[in-house]
Amino acid sequence: MHQAQLFDSFFMGGFECSTHRRQDGKRLDLIQSSGHERWAGNDYAQLAAAGITSVRDGLRWHLIEGQSGHYDWSSFLPMLRAANAQGTQVIWDLSHYGCPEGLDIWRPEFVERFARFAAAAARVVREESDQIPFYSLVNEISFWAWAGGDVGYFEPSARGRGTELKHQLVRASIAAIEAVRAVEPRARFVQTDPIINVIADSPRQEDTAAAEEYRLSQFEAWDLLTGARWPGLGGKPDYLDIIGVNFYPHNQWLRSGGRILRGDYRYRPLAGMLAETWRRYQRPILISETGWEGPERASWFKYVCEQATQAMTRGVPIEGICWYPILDYPGWDDDRHCPAGLFGYADGQGRRPADEALALELHAQQQHFALLGNKPHAALGVIGSECV
């Protein structure tokens, strides 16, 4: 069975750090609106008390580079230093959908500025710590290309330009990898995207073929990074380092759009999807996002852990499982309270209540994976609303 080695803790927490503009023009800043900006040190400490010492977190490019080539790190340094002080290992997202004001994502300048920003961020991280850094450069290339380039859901709010946007985001990722490696050759990169399953609505050959083409599109961004497709973009195998798979309850559907939910005979087990990804790329895999909102959080987490165990017993190198988001947050579209985290909203002292059912399941899974030989800090756990 594969034993995880890359990260300090097998179980991770992901801080929602989206910064894109909605269709109505409002820019989101989930690090601020979830209270993580104010309480980053408390949040890292509360996770550490729960046995979670590896996290995903993000830089807010639009705040840091308000003017081209001029960087203000005041929004980032307190978080970076709090993580270092707590001993928290962070995978830093450099672009979680958002861009600085006035930057045209379709122009070559976007690629060039993002690469310079990535190099500048890597220098700051290197100056503050001698640990091997981890980065997620462009979060969910495929989803951003669909949401921003095909259906106009958020910036750049285009339609029918998804392939063009995907290629641009791949170019930016490649340029940023080269820029970061020039500063810090030890840097590791997590390339995140959703894994999906799409099934035809009918047995007709043309419907089956269309559904399979849609399903296989989940691999396109990773193929572009390796140069397996469109090699003119500059991809090559060493640009694909750690594969981050994002998997939620809504990641399987019929081609017509109806969801396929767990319990349906057509639902594909996650273990098989992980194995397919491993066979295709032969790269270590991080379940970089998984979660559910409401009372089903614990049961979903148990399912993901069971499926990860199955995959690992078959030799699939699963390096960790990240609950995302780890904090409750205001919803993208309407600012409603989304009870999706292990921890809720902070009080005036930065203390956050835990979701008891998810906390207990986390503790059980920490013990389970510790027995399997991984390192999820099983001696610690969260009981009720307190960290122990």
Domain-wise residue ranges, the chain: 11-387
Dihedral sign, Cα of residue 41, residue 47, residue 53, residue 59: negative
Q: Is the N-terminal amide bond of 353 cis, ω within 30° of 0?
A: no
pTM for the structure as a whole = 0.95
Q: What is the mean pLDDT of the chain?
A: 94
Residues 6+ apart with CB under 8 A from 114: 61, 94, 95, 138, 172, 175, 176
* Interaxial angle between packed helices 108-128 and 162-183, expressed in degrees from 0 to 180 and rounded to the nearest 10: 30
CB neighbours of 37 closer than 8 A, spacing ≥ 6?
29, 31, 75, 79
pLDDT at 375: 62
Chain position carrying tokens 């997620």: 136
Residue 270 · residue 303 · CB < 8 Å:
yes
End-to-end CA distance of the chain: 30
If one counts every other C-beta atom within 10 angstroms of the C-beta of residue 372, the result is 15
* Phi and psi angles of residue 322, each rounded to the nearest 5 degrees, phi first: -110, 115
Judge contact between 293 and 341, C-beta under 8 A. no
Q: How many CB atoms lie within 10 A of CB 313?
A: 12
Whether 208 contacts 273, CB under 8 Å: no
- Written as six digits, the tokens of 137 are 């450069």
Q: Name residues of the chain where pLDDT drops below 50.
A: 377-388
Residue 273: phi and psi, rounded to 5, are: -70, -40
For residue 376, what pLDDT is reported?
A: 56
Query: Which of 52, 6, 57 lies closest to 186, judged by CA?
Result: 6
Enter the tokens of residue 148: 């921003």
pLDDT at residue 1, as a whole number: 76
Place of tokens 């046995």: 51
CATH superfamily of 11-387: Glycosidases (3.20.20.80)
